[in-house]
């Protein structure tokens, strides 16, 4: 299997970028033979294919140290100071002299922009920023609350507590009031109940969809009065 693993890499090297994708799959199909902390199949494949194909990296990827391919780079120092255009070897020496990494920040610039930094810390801070941004994202959900035209006062108050909770969490609420049997002959009871719910909620809620009859159910959708347009789940 080790021979096949190596043959896959050599084939990509001599066949050119057109077959890199095919041989990337081959690299993924065999066990990881390298041992050591932090060694994963993904790291081996990305490093190998990057070297073999010379492809343009995606925004989330960075060439580091020996993986940098440009002959010359525009170098930024560890404190953000602009050093200028130097050879790749000189940039590597400067990074090694201060015990840091040489990281390609802008691979599509001419020459590429590289910075001397702690790559492990760089990855950690990027991941932390992405996690914080994800926490701030809120996808609005539509919560359904079921009612009946003859709901008791206690049960109505329980339903109103749930509705307030959903609206305060910036979710939308679909009120579903179902008529049973002869209740269909008194649809005004359902309309009056929905109007009462809206009146009780007051400034907390706004009507996104006015009451409308669908089959035997009267539906109304509410949202928080301060809720901006957000994607619904």
> Domains in the chain and their CATH numbers?
1-55 (no CATH), 58-134 (3.10.20.80), 142-224 (3.30.110.10)
Confidence of residue 135 (pLDDT cuts 50, 70, 90): confident
Is there a contact between 61 and 45 (Cβ–Cβ < 8 Å)?
no
Cβ neighbour number for residue 39 with a 10 Å cutoff: 11
Tell me what the pLDDT averaged over the chain comes to: 78
Alpha helix ranges (H) inside 37-152: 41-53, 88-97, 119-136
Between 85-94, 138-147, 151-160, the lowest mean confidence (pLDDT) is in 138-147
Kindly state the helix (H) or strand (E) to which residue 115 belongs, with its residue range: strand 113-117
Kindly report the length of the chain: 233
Q: If you ran DSSP here, which 8-state letter would residue 232 be given?
A: B
Q: What is the pLDDT of residue 56?
A: 53
Strand partners, 205: 224
**For residues 50 and 69, what is the distance between their CA atoms, to the nearest angstrom?**
10
Average pLDDT over residues 97-123: 92
Cβ neighbour number for residue 60 with a 10 Å cutoff: 7
Q: What is the largest CA-CA distance in the chain?
A: 88
Q: For the whole model, what pTM was predicted?
A: 0.43
* Beta strand 205-214 pairing with 217-224: antiparallel
Q: Which residues fall within 8 angstroms of residue 38, CB to CB, at 6 or more apart?
A: none
């Amino acid at each position: 299997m080790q021979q096949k693993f190596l043959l896959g890499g050599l084939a990509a090297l001599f066949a050119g970028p057109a077959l890199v994708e095919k041989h990337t799959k081959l690299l993924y199909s065999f066990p990881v033979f390298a041992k050591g902390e932090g060694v994963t199949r993904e790291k081996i494949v990305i490093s190998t294919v990057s070297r073999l194909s010379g492809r343009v990296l995606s925004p989330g990827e960075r060439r580091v140290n020996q993986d940098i391919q440009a002959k010359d780079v525009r170098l930024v120092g560890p404190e953000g100071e602009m050093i200028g255009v130097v050879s790749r070897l000189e940039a590597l020496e400067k990074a090694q002299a201060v015990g840091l990494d040489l990281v390609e920040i802008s691979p599509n610039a001419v020459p590429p922009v590289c910075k001397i930094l702690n790559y492990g810390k760089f990855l950690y801070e990027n991941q932390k920023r992405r996690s914080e941004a994800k926490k701030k994202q809120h996808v609005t959900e539509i919560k359904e609350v079921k009612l009946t035209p003859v709901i008791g006062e206690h049960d109505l108050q329980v339903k109103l507590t749930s509705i307030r909770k959903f609206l305060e969490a910036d979710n939308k609420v679909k009120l579903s009031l179902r008529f049973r049997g002869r209740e269909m002959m008194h649809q005004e009871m359902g309309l009056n109940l929905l109007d009462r719910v809206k009146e009780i909620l007051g400034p907390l809620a706004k009507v996104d969809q006015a009451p409308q009859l669908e089959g035997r159910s009267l539906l109304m959708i509410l949202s928080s009065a301060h809720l901006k347009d957000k994607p619904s789940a």
